Every structure is written in structure tokens, then in C-alpha cells.
Amino acid sequence: MKKFHCIVVAIDFSPSSRNALCEAARLAAYEESALTVVHVVEQELANAIGQSLKLDVAGVIAHVHKSLEHFIAQSGAGAMPIASEVRIGNPFVSLVLSCQKHKADLLVMGSRGSQHGIGQVGAVAAQCVRKAPAEVLIVKEDFTGPHRHVIACVDLSETSAKAVQFARRIAEQDGSRLDCLFVDQSTLRLSADYGGYLPPLPTLDTAKAIDAWQKELDAFLEPLLRNSTVREKRNIVMERMGIRDAIMEHIQETQASLVVLGTRGKTDLRTLITGTTAEKVLQHAPCSILAVKPDGFEYHVA
């Protein structure tokens, strides 16, 4: 089962980031993971603070650090040890550097900053999902744990196997239900009418196709969920034309509070290209999202 050894939390003093800190502390307490809170001050703002208060760079950092410590103390994150740091620079670059410094395997962020509307995912959060050198948990602004229902999205890839393991770990901690969801598009796509531009295709037996996928899904998940203490788990095959629509439908049906899904990678480029499904789920899901990176993924800031 996957574990979180070091968790970094991005804080911008918004209510959403307060929820992110509480969720990160909750996850860290389960395995006594190291927990570090990071706040990034953009250069222009740091200059303004320095000029206004007549402080040098070290003075600005110390001044903001006091506010960060107060935020942590008032967050309700509990009594576990929490390290903190203030960085000056580009928020995304600074968070990447912080993840690298602490060798973080999880970056936790609120779904939106103070400048974003309800339901919107901030630009920095979206960029971190694509490129940060860690798994990224985006916590919705109205979430308070524990999770009651977790969905792991499965496409039978190695990355989705990691997603299942992380979903299992959280479901076991929270005593939540776990659904492992596979979406079969093949039969619908082959039977679609492309306006006469394709020759007639043979009639497909949908029931047999779904049964075959169910057996393959069960075999894929068996070693990943063996000896699991999840109180209720289901392996589900849905037949839909659109994967995102199927995931969204299942979220609504189950009222799940967390979706765990893998992202696609190109190891030769050592960079990440997030699949359109992950992007759309990130922007539209009414619940928290844990985006899992391919093994060996790296990102180097310029």
C-alpha cells in the first residue's frame, strides 16, 4: 500500500488553503508523515512590503513568517509538528523547489485562491497538477474530512494502479467506501454512426464486452486490494462514450468526496502531459481530486 512520507502544503491564507492544511495534517497523522507548510510571496508584493515597513529581504520573510505561524495556529490542524517556510518568487516555481527540497511525495493545495470564484480551480493549482514532482491533492473549499466515499479511476495502466493504492490507503484511514471505476468506450465507439464515412461494422455483444472487461478489471485489482481493510469496495465497469461524463455521473450518484486518478506521462521528455480527462475532471468535479503521476516523473524548473 502506498504511503505518504513527506507532505508539503501550499498556503495563501485563503479559506480553501486552511481546509487543505487540515486535510494534510489529517493524512500526515495517520503515518506520522513529515508535514511542511509553504507560503510564497511574489516578488512585487515582497518589494512593496519591504518599502512600506523598511525591511530587507530577511526582514520581509520574518514578517510574513509570523503571519504564517499565526495562520497555522488558528487553522485547527491539530497538535502534530508542522514545519513552515516562506519563499519569495514565482508561486509555481517556488512550490516545485520546495517539493524537491523536502523530497515530498504529496503536495496539498486548496482548489482556489482568494482571487477565484466558487468551484474554480486556481491557475497555480492546475499547473502543479500537471508539473509538480509529487502527487497533488486538490482540496475543495467546502470539504471537511474524513472521506465517506472514494473513487479510484482505472484504465489498467501502471499509473492507475498507483491511483488505486493511494485510494485504498485513504479509504482505509477514513473507513470510507471505495469504488474502482473503469469506463468502457470501445463498444459504443465502434457502433457509432459516423455519418456514413465508415463501412458498416459487425454487431457487438455489449453484455459480453462488459463481462470481459469486468473480469479483466477484477484480475487487475486483485493484487492491489488483497488484504485490504476497506469496509466496502466495488469494482465497477461503466459503458459510456465519454470517460469524463462517466466519472462525473458516478461522483453525483455516490456523492463521493474524493476522486483519485492517474495522469499520463512521456518519460523520454521527462515532462508531464495531463490527459484531457484529468483536466476536465479537475475543473468540473464537485469533490477533491488526487492526481497521481507516473513512476519516474520529473520536472526541472528553468
- DSSP lists the bridge partners of residue 138 as 109, 289
In 3D space, the residue among 2, 34, 161 whose CA is nearest the CA of residue 108 turns out to be 34
pTM of the model: 0.87
Kind of pairing between the strands at 177-184 and 106-110: unpaired
pLDDT tens for each residue of 121-177: 778 988 898 889 999 999 988 888 799 999 999 999 899 999 999 999 999 999 999
- Residue range 78-101: average pLDDT? 93
**Residue 9: is its pLDDT beyond 70?**
yes
- Give tens-digit pLDDT for 171-209: 999 999 999 999 987 655 555 555 555 555 555 567 788
The predicted-structure confidence for 27-40, as pLDDT tens digits, reads as follows 999 989 999 999 99
pLDDT at 241 over 60: yes
> Secondary structure of 124-139 in the HEC alphabet?
HHHHHHHHCCCEEEEE
Measured in whole angstroms, how far is the alpha carbon of residue 205 from the centre of its chain?
36
Confidence of residue 106 (pLDDT cuts 50, 70, 90): very high
Amino acid at 35: L
User: How many residues are recorded in the chain?
Assistant: 302
Range with the poorest average pLDDT among 8-12, 128-132, 216-220: 128-132
What rounded mean pLDDT belongs to the chain? 86
Q: How far is CA 24 from CA 42, 43, 85, 184, in A?
A: 24, 27, 16, 34
Q: Model confidence over 226-236: pLDDT tens digits?
A: 999 998 999 99
Supply φ then ψ for residue 239, to 5 degrees. Answer: -105, 110
More confident residue, 188 or 277: 277
